[in-house]
């Protein structure tokens, strides 16, 4: 929306904004909301400038669809919906995480050193995203969010597509959060979208009023470690997803006993079955399953190499959310797509390495 240039247009724009936002779609105290927005719209131009909107930068950017640096009526209403969903996400598991972190941080310096960390070296290295020998709150949060989302996707991704639609999850509250996380509005939430929404909501501790209420040290940790986000491909071999299901239940699924899983027996989507059906006969047998296990192993090892390369080049933050999507697709058995995402990650690494050599 362009700034009105006359006093009448300014008054009309402001009224339009407040009327729109106080309408039925935002039934949570419409008159109170209108009054709040009237107070926020300091210059009365009918839009909310960045410094007028008391929400974190990432939430403002999500709502500012046209990228003009301000929120028109439709965008402001979208931010209100996103804020409600973010407040629900921000509540989840935060207190327990803070308690565990405080218990481990024995000297109270805001980070957990290797000596303070209550587990072995391998797990510590997974927490310590930037490799500086200590875990800050941002890194602990990123690890917790990814583990939670991996479990959630594994439980609710009924068609094993590697994405989630609102129809696949129970409860209106969960569906509201998924709709909010769907950044591109295509009706399917990828691991990357889910991680970005949940991580940022919890990092900033978005409250019911939309303001960031990050606990002490949260912003510092995010700044020092690039948000503490996940390295690309890390933990890709931790859970085999659909392969584990097929291996464990092959005999039960093979109802006609012919040693193959046909269209009526295969427990995943037709796209996954087609990818595993190497000879194109419309079914998956145990030999094809063994080949896929080897492919999965190769991809897992490749993911670990990309992770280490990204870490050495300081790309762990840029490739963080990509790692979540890789993990979800890996569980779904969509190895061709996993390979393409690893290609993307490797390309970014190569370009960063070239830039370093050119300097």
Q: What is the pLDDT of residue 283?
A: 92
Same domain, 282 and 319: yes
For residue 332, give its domain range: 242-358
Query: Can you say whether residue 259 is alpha, beta or left, with left for phi > 0 and alpha for psi between -120 and 50 degrees?
Result: left
Q: Are residues 185 and 263 in the same domain?
A: no
The CB density around residue 311, as the number of other CB atoms within 10 Å, is 20
Q: Are residues 94 and 204 in the same domain?
A: yes
**Same domain for 143 and 260?**
no
DSSP 6-49: SHHHHHHHHHHHHHHHTSGGG-SSHHHHHHHHHHH-TT-SSSEE
- Regarding whether 34 and 112 lie in a shared domain, the answer is no
Q: Is residue 148 part of a domain?
A: yes
pLDDT at 2: 35
197 and 311 part of one domain: no
- Residues 17, 111, single domain; the answer is no
Kindly report the CATH number assigned to the domain that includes residue 159. Answer: 1.10.238.10
pLDDT at 12: 34
Residue 131 to residue 97: CA distance in whole angstroms = 21
* 96 lies in the same domain as 218: yes
| Residues 225 and 136: beta-carbon distance below 8 Å | yes
Examine the domain organization and report whether 113 and 210 are in the same domain.
yes
Block means of pLDDT (10 residues each) for the chain, 359 residues, are: 35 35 36 61 77 82 82 81 84 75 87 87 76 83 82 79 84 88 86 84 62 39 34 36 73 88 81 86 91 86 87 80 76 83 90 74
Q: How many residues does this entry show for the chain?
A: 359
Into how many domains does the chain fold?
A: 3
251 and 211 in a common domain: no
Q: Pairing state of beta strands 134-136 and 111-113? A: antiparallel
Residue 330 maps to a domain: yes
Q: Tell me what pLDDT residue 36 has.
A: 64
Segment (H or E) for 149: helix 137-156
**What pLDDT shows up at residue 148?**
83
């Amino acid at each position: 929306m362009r700034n009105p240039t006359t006093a009448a247009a300014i008054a009309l724009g402001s009224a339009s904004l407040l009327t729109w936002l106080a309408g039925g779609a935002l039934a949570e105290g419409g008159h109170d909301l209108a009054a709040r927005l009237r107070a926020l719209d300091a210059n009365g131009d009918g839009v909310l400038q960045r410094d007028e909107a008391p929400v974190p930068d990432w939430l403002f950017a999500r709502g500012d669809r046209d990228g003009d640096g301000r929120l028109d009526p439709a965008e402001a209403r979208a931010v209100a919906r996103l804020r409600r969903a973010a407040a629900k996400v921000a509540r989840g598991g935060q207190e327990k995480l803070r308690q565990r972190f405080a218990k481990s941080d024995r000297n109270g310096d805001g980070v957990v050193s290797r000596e303070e960390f209550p587990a072995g070296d391998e797990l510590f290295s997974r927490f310590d995203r930037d490799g500086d020998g200590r875990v800050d709150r941002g890194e602990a949060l990123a690890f917790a969010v990814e583990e939670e989302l991996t479990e959630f996707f594994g439980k609710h991704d009924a068609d094993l597509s590697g994405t989630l639609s609102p129809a696949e999850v129970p409860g209106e509250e969960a569906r509201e959060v998924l709709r909010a996380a769907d950044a591109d509005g295509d009706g399917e939430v990828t691991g990357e979208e889910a991680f970005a929404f949940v991580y940022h909501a919890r990092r900033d501790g978005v409250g019911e009023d939309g303001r960031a209420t990050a606990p002490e040290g949260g912003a510092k940790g995010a700044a020092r470690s690039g948000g503490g986000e996940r390295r690309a491909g890390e933990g890709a071999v931790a859970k085999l997803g659909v392969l584990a299901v097929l291996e464990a239940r092959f005999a039960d699924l093979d109802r006609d006993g012919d040693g193959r899983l046909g269209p009526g027996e295969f427990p995943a989507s037709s796209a996954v079955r087609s990818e595993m059906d190497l000879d194109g006969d419309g079914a998956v047998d145990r030999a094809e399953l063994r080949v896929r296990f080897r492919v999965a192993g190769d991809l897992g090892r490749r993911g670990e190499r990309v992770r280490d390369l990204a870490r050495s080049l300081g790309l762990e933050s840029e490739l963080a959310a990509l790692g979540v999507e890789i993990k979800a697709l890996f569980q779904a058995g969509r190895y061709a797509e996993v390979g393409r995402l690893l290609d993307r990650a490797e390309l970014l690494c190569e370009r960063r390495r070239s830039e370093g050599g050119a300097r």
